[in-house]
Structure 1
C-alpha cells in the first residue's frame, strides 16, 4: 500500500536521502551525475513564493520512503497584453502574468519502479497546484530521458513546450583575462530590479517577484558590461541609474546576474575511468603550475563540487555578444574565488547572445526539454488564448531558484 503525504523533516530525512543516493541523474549515454543536497531536500524550492515536497511511503508496520516529488508556484510572464485587435494596449508593451507551477525532483527508488508510484506522486502534486490557484504546470527533463518523457506526455497530459540549452563551462585554475575595451559595473539590487523590469519583464518566464530573487542571500550580484570609452565606462560614479541608462544606452551593452548554487547543493560525476581521472588531474596540475599559459583545465568533478549559475542574460547592440563574453569571464573569476568547479547557464535554443557564452559541449546539454500542461482556466487579466499553444520566443528567463 502506497501513501503519499507531505514531507516531514523530523522523520523522513534519512529515507529521502537514501532514495536520492540510489537515483543518479544525468543525460543517458554520458557519465552519471549525482546530486548532493547538503542535508536539505527542500533547497531547490524553498526560495520560491510557495512550495511543497511530497513523499511516497510503503508498508504498514515497517514504513519505507520509496519516492518523492517537489513542487513550487510563482507568477511569471506568459506573453504581452493585447487589445481586441490583437495589438499592444495603449501602444505600450505590458507583460501578461500567469500563476505557474513547477514540478522537479521526482524520484522513485529503483527497486520500486513500474508500480505507478511516479504517476501517483505527480497527480497528488497537481492537485496541490490546483488548490493553490496554479493555472499551468511545467517540468524540465533531459530530451533523451524516455521514461520521464513518457510519464509526463503519455500519462499525465503534458505537451512538449520549449527546448532550451544548458551550457556548462569548467572553472579553470587560472583567472580569465577580461577585454580592456569593456567595463563591468556591479548594480545594487534596486537598480538591477529596475533594469530587469524595464527591459525584460515581457520575456517569457520572467518572475514577477524578481526583487525577491535579486535580494536573496544566494544572489552574488548583477553586472552590466559597457564599452570602456562610453560615458558609463569612464570610472566610478558614472552609472546614472537604470532608467536613465536605458533612455540613453551605449551602442552595445549586456547584463547578467550570478546565483550561488554551491551553498544549496553539490554535484559529482560518477563512472569515469581511471585514465580520465588521471588526465583531468594532469590538466589541473599544469594549469596551476603555469597559470600564465592560460591552458584550459578540467576541475575536480569526480568528487562533490559546487557551481555558480548565470541568469538574466540580455543586452543590445552589435557588440552585445562580446559584452556577454566579458561578463561570463567576470562570472568565471567569481566562481574561481568561490571554489566552484563549473559555471552554468540555461538559455533559449535560439538565444541570439548564446554565441558569447563560453561552454564545453561535453559538459552541456544542447537540448533540454520543458513540457507544460494547462491545469484550468487562465484567469490572468487580459489573458488571450492558451499559453501551451504559443510559439517560442528568442529568449526565456530562467529562474535560478529552480535550477
Structure 2
C-alpha cells in the first residue's frame, strides 16, 4: 500500500536523495543529467510565496520512499485588458492576474513505476492547490518524455499549452569579450522592479511579487545594455532612473537579470564515454594555456556543477538582439567568477530576442513543453475567459524560482 504524506526533513532526507539519484533528468537520447539538491530537497521551491513537498511511502515495518513531488503557488499575469481613462482619453493596457500553481520535481523510483504512484502524487498535490485557491495548475516536461506527457495530458486532464526553449551555453575557461560599443548598467532592485512593472507586467507568467524575486539573495542583479554613444552610456551618473529612461529610451536597449541556481541544486552529466571526457578535458587545458585564442572549451560537467539562470530578458529597438548578446556575455563572466559550469535561460519559442542568446544545441532543449489545467469550473471568466484556450504570445516571463 502506498501512503502519500508531507515531506518530513528529519526522517525523509536520505530516502528522497536516493530516489533523486536514481532518476534521470533530461531528454532521452542525450547524456543523462542527475540533480544534486545540496541536502535540502525543498530548496528549489522554498523561495516561492506558498509551497509544499509530498512523498510516497511503501511498506509496513520497513518503510521506503518511492516517490516525491513538489508544488508551489503564486499570482501571475495571464492576459491583459484595456483600461480607458475618461479624463485623458488614454487607452492604458493593464495586466490580468490569476492564482497559478506549479508542479515540479515529480519523481518515482524506477523499480516502482507503472503502479499509479505518480498519478496519486499529482492528485494529492492538486487537492492542496485547490484548497489554497489556485485557479490553474501547470507543469513543464521534456517534449520527448512520452511517459510524462501521457500521464499529465491523458490521466490527469492537462492540455499542451506552451512550447518554450531552454537555451544552455557552457561557461568557458576564458572570459567573453563584451562589445565596446555597449555599456552595461547594473540597476538596484527598486529601479529594476520599476522597469519590469512599467514595461513587462503584461507579459504572460509575469509574477506579481517580482519585488520578492529581485530582492532575493539568489538574484545576482539586473543589468541594462545601452549603446555607448547614447546619453545613458557615457559613464557613471548617467542613469536617470527607470521611469525617465523608458520615457526617453535610446534607439535600442535590452535588460536581463541573473539568478544563482548553484546554491539551490547541482547537475551532473553521466553516461559519457572516456573518449568524450578526454576530449572535453583537452579543450579546457588548451583554453587555459592559450586564453587569447578564445576557444569554446567544454567545462567539467562530468562531476557536480552549478549554473546561473538568466531571466526577465527583454528589450526594444533594431539592435536589441545585439544588446542581449552583450548582456549574455556579461552574465557569462559572472558565472565564470562564480564557478559555474553552464549558463541557461528559457524563452518563448517565438521570442524575437532569442537570436541574441548564445547557446549550444547539444546542451539545449529546443522544445520544452508546458501543460496546463483549469482546476475549478466555478471561477468567473471575467475579462480573461479560459486561459487554457488562449493563443501563445511572442514572450513569456520565466520565474527563476521554478527553474
Regarding TM over 0.5, the answer is yes
Contact 2:299 2:341 in 1 (8 A): yes
Displacement, 1:381?
A: 9.0
- Give the match's secondary structure for 1:257: strand
Superposed displacement of residue 174, structure 1: 0.4
1:217 CA drift (Å): 0.3
SS at match of 1:34: strand
Query: For residues 96 and 87 of structure 1, do their structure 2 counterparts lie closer, same or farther at Cα, with a shift above 3 Å needed?
Result: farther
In 2, Cα distance between the equivalents of 1:221 and 1:158? 35
CA distance in 1, matches of 2:88, 2:328: 34
Whole-angstrom CA distance in 2 between matches of 1:382 and 1:337: 48
C-alpha separation in 2, matches of 1:349 and 1:95: 22
**CA-CA distance at 1:25 after TM superposition:** 1.2
TM-score, normalised to structure 2's length?
A: 0.98
Q: Deviations over 1:359-402 (max 9, x none)?
A: 00000000000000000147579532100000000000000000
> Which secondary structure does the structure 2 equivalent of 1:84 belong to?
strand
Cα deviation 1:304-356 (Å, max 9, x = unaligned): 00000000000000000000000000000000000000000000000000000
| Whole-Å separation in 2 of the counterparts to 1:397 and 1:259 | 14
CA distance in 2, matches of 1:239, 1:55: 49
Taking the aligned partners of 1:378 and 1:35, their CA distance within structure 2 comes to 39
Q: Alpha-carbon deviation of 1:89? A: 11
Q: Tell me which moved more, 305-314 or 22-31.
A: 22-31
Tell me if the contact between 1:31 and 1:270 (Cα under 8 Å) persists in the aligned partners.
yes
Residues 35-84 of structure 1 show CA distances to partners (whole Å, capped at 9, x for unaligned) of 00000100110000000000011111111111000000000000012579
1:81, 1:382 within 8 Å by CA — same for their partners in 2? no
Could you tell me how far 1:85 is from its partner in structure 2? 15
User: Conserved in 2, the CA contact under 8 Å of 1:82 and 1:89?
Assistant: no
Work out whether 1:121 is the aligned partner of 2:127.
no
**Gap runs ≥5 in structure 2:** none
Report the equivalent of 1:374.
Answer: 374
- Distance (Å, rounded) in 1 between the aligned partners of 2:345 and 2:205: 15
Please say if residues 84 and 92 of structure 2, whose CA atoms lie closer than 8 Å, have aligned partners that are also in contact.
Answer: no
Cα distance in 2, alignment partners of residues 14 and 123 from structure 1: 25
1:159–1:371 Cα contact (<8 Å) kept: yes
Structure 1 position 291, deviation (Å): 0.3
C-alpha offsets along residues 218-249 of structure 1, whole Å, 9 cap, x if unaligned? 00000000000111001001100000000000
Alignment check: 8 A CA contact 1:31 1:269 kept? yes
| TM-score in terms of structure 1 length | 0.98
Query: What is the SS of the residue equivalent to 2:352?
Result: coil
The answer to whether the 8 A contact 2:85-2:92 is kept is: no
Q: Residue 96 of structure 1 contacts residue 382 of structure 1 at CA under 8 Å; is this kept in 2?
A: no
Pick closer, same or farther for the CA change 1:335–1:254 going to 2, 3 Å: same
Distance 1:392 1:125 in 2: 26
Asked if structure 2 preserves the Cα contact closer than 8 Å seen for 1:96 and 1:380, the reply is no
1:88/1:94 contact within 8 Å kept: no
**C-alpha distance in 1 between matches for 2:87 and 2:122:** 38
| Distance change in 2, residues 1:201/1:83 (3 Å) | closer
Distance 1:89 1:331 in 2: 42
Is the Cα contact below 8 Å between 2:83 and 2:94 reproduced in 1?
no
The separation in 1 between residues aligned to 2:217 and 2:205, in whole angstroms, is 22
Shift of the 5–51 alpha-carbon distance from structure 1 to 2, 3 Å rule, reads same
SS in 2 for 1:40: coil
CA 1:329–1:115 in 2, change beyond 3 Å: closer, same or farther?
Answer: same
Cα gap change, 1:9 to 1:244, in 2 (>3 Å): same
Moved over 6 A (4+): 83-90
Which residue does 1:63 correspond to in 2? 63
CA offset digits 1:110-143 (Å, max 9, x no partner): 1110000000000000000000000000000000
- Offset at residue 91 of structure 1 (A): 1.2
